[in-house]
Amino acid sequence: MKYLIVGLGNIGKEYEDTRHNIGFNILIQWAKEAGFLFEIKRYAAVAHVSFKGRQLYFIMPTTYMNLSGRAVKYWMNELNIPIENIIVLVDDLALDFGTLRLRGKGSDAGHNGLKNIDAELQSNQYARLRFGIGRDFAKGRQVDFVLGKWPKIQMEQLPERISTAIEICQSFCTAGLANTMSNYNNK
C-alpha cells in the first residue's frame, strides 16, 4: 500500500514559519523525528519511508501554493497512487488555532492550494487534514495574516499540535479514514 502525503506551503526564506506553510512545517518536523531527508525532484521536495508495512511518499510542492496541483498530479501518477490514498495538509482560517480536522473530501473553502489541486485532479475526493490558524485579522488583512509569522505563544504550542497532526497522518495510512476521523476529529 502506497500513500502520498502532501504538505502545502510556499518555498523561500520569506515564507518560512508563516501560517500558510503549516503543511511544510508538519512534514519537516516529521522528517526530523523519523530521520528521513527530502530531495528536490520534479515539482517538489520528495521523501519516502516505510511505515508499518506501508510505503509513505511525502511531497512539499516547489511550485508555490497556487500551483500545488501540478506537483500532486505529477507524483500521484508517477508513483501510481490512487486518490483515496492521498492526504493534503493545509492551513484553515475557519478553524481556531491548533484545531485539527480530517475530511475525506470537500470544498476548497477559498484556499488557493486546494483550488488548484481540485482543478488538476478534476476531483475534490481526496483527504485533507485542516490545521486551524484562526482568523484574528482586521477586514482586508487576510493575506497579511495568512502569510504572517506565528506569534510567540502559538510558536510554543506548535510542536505539540504538529505531533498530533503527524499521528493523524500515520493513522490515516494504517487505520483508514473513517477510524482516524472517529478517533481524532472534535478532540
**pLDDT tens digits, 5-63:** 999 999 999 999 999 999 999 999 999 999 999 999 999 999 999 999 999 999 999 99
Q: What is the pLDDT of residue 186?
A: 72
Q: What is the pLDDT of residue 137?
A: 83
Q: What is the pLDDT of residue 187?
A: 66
- Element at 14 (helix H, strand E): none
Check pLDDT > 90 for residue 112: yes
State the residue range of the domain holding 83: 2-184
Catalytic residues: 20
Q: CATH number of the domain that 160 lies in?
A: 3.40.50.1470
Which residues, at least 6 apart from 77, have a Cβ–Cβ distance to it below 8 Å? none
Instruction: Tell me how far apart the alpha carbons of residues 120 and 124 are, in angstroms, rounded to a whole number.
Output: 10
Residue with cell 523525528: 33
- Element at 164 (helix H, strand E): helix 152-175
Check pLDDT > 90 for residue 136: no
Q: What is the pLDDT of residue 30?
A: 97
User: What HEC string does 57-108 produce?
Assistant: EEEEECCCHHHHHHHHHHHHHHHCCCHHHEEEEEEECCCCCCCEEEECCCCC
In this structure, how many other beta carbons lie within 10 angstroms of the beta carbon of residue 128? 27
Total tally of structural domains belonging to the chain: 1
Burial label for 40, CB within 10 Å (0-12, 13-18, 19+), is exposed
- Model's pTM, two decimal places? 0.96
The residue among 60, 58, 59, 128 whose CA lies nearest residue 94 is 128
pLDDT tens digit sequence for 53-103 = 999 999 999 999 999 999 999 999 999 999 999 999 999 999 999 999 999
The residue among 74, 47, 73 whose CA lies nearest residue 58 is 47
* Mean pLDDT across 121-139: 93
Burial label for 5, CB within 10 Å (0-12, 13-18, 19+), is buried
